[in-house]
Amino acid sequence: MVDDIVINLKEITKTYRLYNSHADRVKETFHPLRKKYHHSFNALTDVSFNLKRGETVGIIGRNGSGKSTLLQIICGILQPTSGRVEIDGRISALLELGAGFNPEFTGRQNVYMNCAILGLTHEEIKARFDDIVAFAEIGDFIGQPVKTYSSGMYVRLAFAIAINVNPDILVVDEALSVGDTLFQSKCFAKFKEFQEKGITILFVTHAMDLITRYCSSAYLLENGKIHTSGSPKDVVDEYNRLIVNCPERISAETVRPVDEQKEIIRDKQWEGLFRLNPDMNCYGNGKTKLIEAGIFDLDGSALQTLVHGQSYEFRLKVRFNDTIYNPIIAYTIKDVKGFDISGTNTFYQNINTGTLHKDEVLLAIFKHKLLLNPGGYLLSLGCAGYENGEYVVYERKYDYLSFDVISKRQSVGFFDMGSEITISRV
Amino acid sequence: MIKSFIYFIKLIFLQKHLIISMAKREVVTKYVGSLLGFIWTFINPIVMIFVFWVVFSVGFRVQPTNDVPFVVWLTAGMASWFVFSDMVNGSANIIVVNAHLIKKTQFHSQILPVVIIVSCLITHMVFLIVLIGLIWFQNMPCSLYYFQFFYYLLCMCVLALGFGWIVSALNVFIRDVGQIVGVVLQIGFWATPIFWDINIMPQKVQTILKLNPMFYIVQGYRESFIYFNPFWNHPYQTLYFWVLAIIIFVVGALTFKKLKPQFADVL
């Protein structure tokens, strides 16, 4: 084993034996002839990987893909059915917030108890106590029972304990998403500090931007197997494809540039390039038909993981089933919580689309520099117009497709104005 | 195999600080939020002994057993049984109750029955203080033999830990074990000569009754506090007890060790 490898998993398989009753399990354990009473379910199959000292690795996957099981095995809480786990160093695990907290006891008592469970002596805890309280920012509440804490305080205290026990390996399971932004940024500052100290960090999250921003590599689990591993961006891309169940895999290299010849543009030509949202919300009077839409970079490659600061085009093709005068073509971007972030249309931009007749197809291209902050977004499209002074919706497809934005820059809020900072002493 | 077994036992000593603070918490949890707090630990045995005294000495006028007031004789025997029963009963649920620790933290669950035993010892000490108060109140002689009870306490802890490991591990898989333990302890209370003197039985029955390892302890407590009789006066019983206790201890540890990896799967 190479010195630098701190976590070495070899062909880990975790088979859950499903028993009809608990008694069957005991019967099987002690059965002299090893009679089988179970049927099996594989939560993990042949998972192997190495983690080097100082790496930050993200694990993503859908619910039930085996992420938590994998972390529990790494922490030694669960035993793998077969395979080998080699760990070099002290693991501090944050699998569930405040797992060892007793709500009736004060923050102080819980800190002592939790640290003791993590293997610290009384003196070590004493030495770290102030750091923990300071990091958790709970002030005088440390003397109050933790049942009086807000969930934010709870998280902060639990997290403060986990990172202050000087681990060699930090394992975090979806815990960070609970704290507020300020605390999160503080945690990530701590992550950075850990990375510099050569501490290995392994975390599970559903926030894809965290993966691309902090991880040096990522693993995508699907059905208990490693589906993809490698650079965070590729893995996040693959994950996004997976969650909308796109059967055809199109990696960045194989994307065909869009052929813009007039003959084929009238029909579907981007099929399979995008994973569309199966739950999109469509309505309208049917006078237009959105043939297809997509996001492309300036080279014409179809993309759903966009890089902050680059320019992209939203393209959509609309077929008209009736004669319509000056239709309005629109897009809206929402965040995953459904909040409208940005959007525009041909009407706002004073573009006259002219009169369109039956069976004509209009290609609209919205070109822009992407300033959204990292995260997941949904693109909605629509076509509307005014008939006899009344606003009429021909067609709307809400949440047509999702896309992710990744960035190397950090900023708060929904978008980054691209501020350039100059400082001078005056 | 033997090495991992030794490590299994050794961890108890390595984690003594954790065990002690968890045991304290276990005791405090019972009274947390109550006004009188720890004082309740005293009130319970005092009231119980007072009731026995009223019922048996004042009410029924039970004749002293071998010149010892019945209530003292009863309390001395009962003290040991109660703590034993608390230890085994408390162990039965301890793994299930602490499921969050086992599933979500790296935790050596074999210390949990030890935590129960230590926490029971805290309340047991209070009970013994009340017992000694009662003995003095009755103007009975005192002696250095009092300290012999530590030996019997050790005997009991070894026995209780063995049982504790067995029942706590099995109860994770078969929740009925907790109920069965309660029933068996009820029967055990009456099958052990606590409320009655073993000498009222015919010799043959006595021999069978003495196979009960708790008889050795109950008798030992009485000899420490009342009769001042050293344990080496029963060499055969002592040998029998230790052979049995060590077997139960080892079986308990092995059972626990074997089932422990599966706890997180079931809880």
DSSP A21-84: SHHHHHHHHH-TT-----EEEEEEEEEEEEEETT-EEEEEE-TTSSHHHHHHHHTTSS--SEEE
Is residue A314 a part of any domain in this protein?
Answer: yes
- Higher pLDDT: B93 or B56? It is B93
Asked if the C-beta of A77 comes within 8 angstroms of chain B's C-beta atoms, the answer is yes
Interface test with B, best of A16, A24, A25, A154 (most B CBs within 10 A): A25
Strands A225-230 and A217-222: antiparallel
* Neighboring chain A residues of B107 at a CB cutoff of 8 Å: 77, 117
Is residue B4 a part of any domain in this protein?
Answer: no
Mean confidence (pLDDT) of chain A: 81
Is there a single domain that holds both residue A109 and residue A167?
Answer: yes
| CATH code, domain carrying A384 | 2.70.50.60
Name the residue of chain B whose CA is nearest to A90's CA.
Answer: B106
Asked if the C-beta of A75 comes within 8 angstroms of chain B's C-beta atoms, the answer is yes
ipTM for the complex shown? 0.71
Structure-block tokens of residue A142 = 């440390």
Q: With CA atoms as reference, report the closest residue to B253 among B87, B114, B50, B69.
A: B114
Predicted pLDDT of residue B88: 94
Mean pLDDT value of segment A170-189: 74
Q: Do B106 and A93 touch (CB under 8 A)?
A: yes
Instruction: Count CB-CB contacts under 10 A for residue B209.
Output: 14
Q: Do B106 and A91 touch (CB under 8 A)?
A: yes
Structure-block tokens of residue B6 = 């030794």
CA A190 to chain centre: 20
- Yes or no: say if A79 and A148 are a contact pair by the CB < 8 Å rule: no
A183 pLDDT more than 80: no
Name the residue of chain B whose CA is nearest to A26's CA.
Answer: B173
Strands A91-94 and A169-173: parallel
A261 pLDDT more than 60: no
B246 pLDDT more than 90: yes
Is residue A131 a part of any domain in this protein?
Answer: yes
Write the burial class of residue A327 (CB in 10 Å: 0-12 exposed, 13-18 middle, 19+ buried).
Answer: buried
Bridge-partner residues for A52, per DSSP?
Answer: A5
Predicted pLDDT of residue A187: 78
Q: Which residue has the tokens 């979500």?
A: B104
Element (H, E) at B27: helix B16-31
Is residue A126 a part of any domain in this protein?
Answer: yes
Mean pLDDT value of segment B80-90: 92
- Higher pLDDT: A186 or B167? It is B167
Q: How confident is the model at residue B118 (pLDDT cuts 50, 70, 90)?
A: very high
Number of domains in chain B: 1
Is there a single domain that holds both residue A201 and residue A275?
Answer: no
A170 pLDDT more than 80: yes
Is there a single domain that holds both residue A142 and residue A228?
Answer: yes
Residues 6+ apart with CB under 8 A from A51: A5, A6, A7, A8, A57, A169, A200, A202
Is residue A285 a part of any domain in this protein?
Answer: yes
User: What b-and-e string marks burial along A277-300, b requiring 16 or more CB atoms within 10 Å of the CB?
Assistant: beebeeebeebbebbbbbbbbeee
Q: How confident is the model at residue B154 (pLDDT cuts 50, 70, 90)?
A: very high
Strands A200-204 and A169-173: parallel
What is the rounded CA–CA span in Å between residue B113 and residue B89?
A: 10
CA atoms within 13 A on the CB side of B181: 25
Q: Which residue has the tokens 């403060």?
A: A160
B51 pLDDT more than 80: yes
- Yes or no: say if B162 and B245 are a contact pair by the CB < 8 Å rule: yes
What is the rounded CA–CA span in Å between residue B33 and residue B26?
A: 14
Mean confidence (pLDDT) of chain B: 87
A66 pLDDT more than 80: yes
Is there a single domain that holds both residue A98 and residue A153?
Answer: yes
Mean pLDDT value of segment B124-153: 87
Tens-place pLDDT, residues A376-393: 888 989 998 888 888 888
What is the rounded CA–CA span in Å between residue A242 and residue A223?
A: 12
Amino acid at B89: N
Is residue B43 a part of any domain in this protein?
Answer: yes
Is there a single domain that holds both residue A172 and residue A273?
Answer: no
Is residue B12 a part of any domain in this protein?
Answer: no
Max mean pLDDT range (A37-41, A364-368, B211-215):
B211-215
Q: Do A25 and B25 touch (CB under 8 A)?
A: no
A223 pLDDT more than 80: yes
Is residue A422 a part of any domain in this protein?
Answer: no
Is residue B11 a part of any domain in this protein?
Answer: no
What is the rounded CA–CA span in Å between residue A98 and residue A156?
A: 9
Is there a single domain that holds both residue A226 and residue A295?
Answer: no
Mean pLDDT value of segment A169-173: 85
A283 pLDDT more than 50: yes
Is there a single domain that holds both residue A54 and residue A92?
Answer: yes
Bridge-partner residues for B257, per DSSP?
Answer: none
* Neighboring chain B residues of A16 at a CB cutoff of 8 Å: 265
Is there a single domain that holds both residue A302 and residue A204?
Answer: no
Residues 6+ apart with CB under 8 A from A121: B17
A180 pLDDT more than 70: no
Q: How far is A138 from chain B (nearest CA, A)?
A: 23
What is the rounded CA–CA span in Å between residue A351 and residue A373?
A: 28
Is there a single domain that holds both residue A309 and residue A190?
Answer: no
Give percent above pLDDT 70 in chain A.
Answer: 91
CA distance to A42, A65, A289, A342, A392, per residue, from A329 (Å) = 49, 40, 12, 15, 12
Amino acid at A239: Y
What is the rounded CA–CA span in Å between residue A133 and residue A256?
A: 55
Predicted pLDDT of residue B169: 92
Mean pLDDT value of segment A90-114: 79
Is there a single domain that holds both residue A282 and residue A394?
Answer: yes
Predicted pLDDT of residue B214: 92
The boundaries of the domain holding residue B98 are 21-266
Predicted pLDDT of residue B242: 95
The boundaries of the domain holding residue A358 are 258-406
A255 pLDDT more than 50: no
Number of domains in chain A: 2
Is there a single domain that holds both residue A163 and residue A304?
Answer: no
Is residue B126 a part of any domain in this protein?
Answer: yes
Predicted pLDDT of residue A245: 56
A184 pLDDT more than 80: no
Is residue A426 a part of any domain in this protein?
Answer: no
Is residue A97 a part of any domain in this protein?
Answer: yes
What is the rounded CA–CA span in Å between residue A359 and residue A291?
A: 12
Is there a single domain that holds both residue A47 and residue A186?
Answer: yes
